[in-house]
Amino acid sequence: MRIVDFHCDLLSYLAEGHGRADALEARCSWPQLRQGCVTLQVMALYTETSANSTLSFQKQMDCYQNLPTLYPEQFVHCHALQLPQSDDKIHVLAAVENASGLVLENEPLSLCFRRLDEFLALCSPVVYISLTWNTENRFGGGNQSQIGLKDDGKQLLQYLEGKHIAIDLSHASDQLAYDVLNYLEQENLNLIPIASHSNFRAVCQHPRNLPDELAQEIIRRGGFIGLNLFRPFIGSSLPGDLIAQAEYVLKKGWWEGFCFGADFFCDKQFSHLLSYAAPFYARSFEDSSCYPRLLELLSSICSAQQLQQLAYGNAAAFLTRLKEGAHAYSR
């Protein structure tokens, strides 16, 4: 069965010089993507908020552009917001994980818009942009804060109007997420909110997971929630807690907004987390080859149609909504 996944960190792995796109330590290398039947992979351009944010972003943008040139038999850019017609290669789309990659904290905001336009000209279509990563920045508060939406964040949301790019709330503080949703409603902005790689706080109590109210609003507004396989966001009892995440979605009636957002990355990229989060992933679900095994695991609670929706059907429907715009369907 073909697979669509909305979040991996291969670009930052390549940009930091850790290795090649066929290195298994990346967890989302092309051999693992192929083995996992991934036909469409969203590649995140991930940056922390620092003095090197824009430089890191530029390096990752170069890596994204060069993937099909360096690996012509494996990767191809997807030039439309739709499910690829063929599975002969791994189709890739870009996403921005932290708007700090577009502009430094002390730079004029106008540079953010200019760089975004340049990025879109080179790498369009872009599936989503998140305002923050874990910490606070000029746009708002990350999930390790309680800060809400700032003026620069409002201006960026305004600038995204009509560009067919979703706003990702996976790394937002609860306050930022609520503020973004309220601001979209207040200004009638044509943006779809998503959580590209987050789970459910009712199942696993972690600030990176979504409270029910936020999850419900994302689904109501046509967005999706991407199942994250990072072990601290699932729970310690595996595979039971992984099944529990899917069971919770079924119970709440959110299945049509449920996708994959596995968040695979190389351990040494975040070695400082090993002291409390190791192992990062559960055995058998530790890299992009895992999707057939994961679907088999979930077949104990899901119908064949539901598994197909999770694998690619829900993703295809979301991309259609994104292409048409948030105002193209009834909320």
Helices 109-123 and 151-160: crossing angle in degrees, nearest 10, is 30
CB half-sphere exposure, 53, CA atoms < 13 A: 23
For the segment 265-316, what is each residue's pLDDT rounded down to a tens digit?
999 888 777 666 788 999 999 999 999 999 999 999 999 999 999 999 999 9
For the segment 63-87, what is each residue's pLDDT rounded down to a tens digit?
999 999 999 999 999 999 999 988 8
Q: CA-CA distance, 259 to 119, in Å (whole number)?
A: 26
* Mean pLDDT across the chain: 95
Number of independent structural domains in the chain: 1
> What pLDDT is attached to residue 326?
74
Residues whose CB is less than 8 angstroms from the CB of residue 85 and which lie 6 or more positions away in sequence, other chains included: none
- Count, residues in the chain: 331
Residues linked to residue 105 through DSSP beta bridges, in sequence order: none
CATH number of the domain residue 191 falls in:
3.20.20.140
Q: What predicted TM-score, i.e. pTM, was given to this entire model?
A: 0.96
For the segment 233-255, what is each residue's pLDDT rounded down to a tens digit?
998 888 999 999 999 999 999 99
Instruction: Write out the two tokens for 46.
Output: 């991930």
pLDDT band for position 327 (cuts 50, 70, 90): confident
Give me the domain span that covers residue 249.
3-328
Instruction: Write out the two tokens for 188.
Output: 């009638």
| Residue 243: alpha-carbon gap to chain centroid | 21
